[in-house]
């Protein structure tokens, strides 16, 4: 459960970081920023902030924003409904991010990108200054993500 | 045919506009910026500058850059190989752009976006300050685009 205060603070941080990356949002989008603590209650350590621009049944585009040293834990995007699973490209916009995939560490700085094949375990963590990362992908179904840590609940629960 | 000088000048303009929008490129990407005059030889009036980040058989992401008042002429993305044709979302990042689709004019300012269904005629033109537009889409096959003006040749020819 994410407290109202933590949720608002994370949305404000995300909007500020996107603005600092030159990314303009509408007012409606600002309110739609998703704050995910993966049900672990340690947002600044394990969590992710997201804004989904578009998600059709064919493609998806999002911005991901991370606090300094915040980690998105290991997961994969499994096959579903005739799709081999989500294929995604991360492009670093601001700060730095380290990605781990197949036991390999890939560091991304602004302007650098990496494509992750479907159904492939990966995790990532921002550097000391946090990170803004654009994600381009096939259709996204976050509810189907398979996390290695069985305690994880992907859908954020925010204090009413 | 685009002259070497015009090509270099348009690539430099594009890189500068992307930088002004906070978008960082690698050196390799800078050299890959595509300058399309649609075979008409009137680049500043009818043309488009593009950088493709990724184009898999499932999704695509590009940046489009337009000179002030530059137009991308009317075209559609037809069905191919079992696909209903490219579906695309334009998101304005900098400047302004007007899009025409189904006889309707949609103006986009930074932070605003529009999704264009497959196989639907559309054209667009930048405002007085030019435009930077992110394009998120299903797989892109520019070589299959159908332009209304039969003189148009989509693949750019640059002076050797």
Which residues are CB-neighbours of A90 under 8 A, at least 6 positions away?
A: A64, A97, A99, A108, A113, A114, A115, A116, A124, A133, A134, A135
Q: How many CB pairs under 8 A join A and B?
A: 79
Q: Does residue B51 register a pLDDT over 90?
A: yes
Strand blocks (E) in chain A:
34-36, 48-55, 59-66, 71-76, 88-101, 104-108, 113-116, 122-138, 146-147
Residues in chain B closer than 8 A to A53 (CB atoms): 89, 91, 113, 136
> Residue A148: is its pLDDT beyond 90?
yes
pTM for the whole structure? 0.96
Q: Is A80 on the interface with B (CB under 8 A)?
A: no
Average pLDDT of the residues in B43-49: 97
Tokens 């490129």 correspond to B25
Q: What is the ipTM, given to two decimal places?
A: 0.94
Q: Which of B153, B160, B158, B159 is nearest to B46 (CA)?
A: B153
The answer to whether the CB of A90 falls within 8 A of the CB of A131 is: no
Q: Rounded to an integer, what is the distance from CA B63 to the centroid of its chain? A: 7
- Determine, for residues A113 and B59 on separate chains, whether the beta-carbon distance falls below 8 Å: no
Structure tokens at B34: 């595509």
Which pLDDT does position A4 carry in this prediction? 95
pLDDT band, residue A154 (cuts 50/70/90): confident
Q: Is any Cβ of chain A less than 8 angstroms from the Cβ of B16?
A: no
The residues with which A116 forms a beta bridge, in sequence order, are A88
Give pLDDT tens digits for B91-119: 999 999 999 998 999 999 999 999 999 99
CA distance A18 to chain B (A): 10
Mean pLDDT, range A34-39, rounded to an integer:
96
Chain B residue with the nearest C-alpha to that of A86: B58
Take residue A99 and report the two structure tokens written for it.
């990605």
């Amino acid at each position: 459960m994410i407290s109202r205060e933590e949720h608002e603070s994370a949305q404000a941080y995300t909007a500020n970081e996107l603005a600092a990356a030159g990314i303009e949002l509408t007012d409606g989008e600002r309110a739609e920023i998703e704050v995910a603590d993966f049900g672990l209650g340690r947002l600044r350590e394990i969590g992710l902030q997201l804004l989904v621009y578009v998600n059709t049944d064919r493609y998806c585009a999002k911005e991901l924003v991370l606090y300094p040293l915040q980690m998105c834990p290991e997961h994969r995007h499994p096959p579903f409904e005739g799709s081999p699973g989500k294929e995604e490209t991360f492009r670093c916009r601001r700060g730095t991010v380290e990605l781990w995939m197949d036991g390999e560490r890939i560091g991304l700085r602004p302007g650098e990108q990496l494509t992750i094949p479907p159904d492939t375990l990966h995790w990532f963590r921002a550097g000391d200054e946090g990170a803004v990362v654009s994600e381009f992908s096939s259709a996204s179904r976050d509810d189907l993500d398979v996390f290695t840590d069985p305690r994880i609940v992907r859908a954020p629960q925010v204090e009413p």
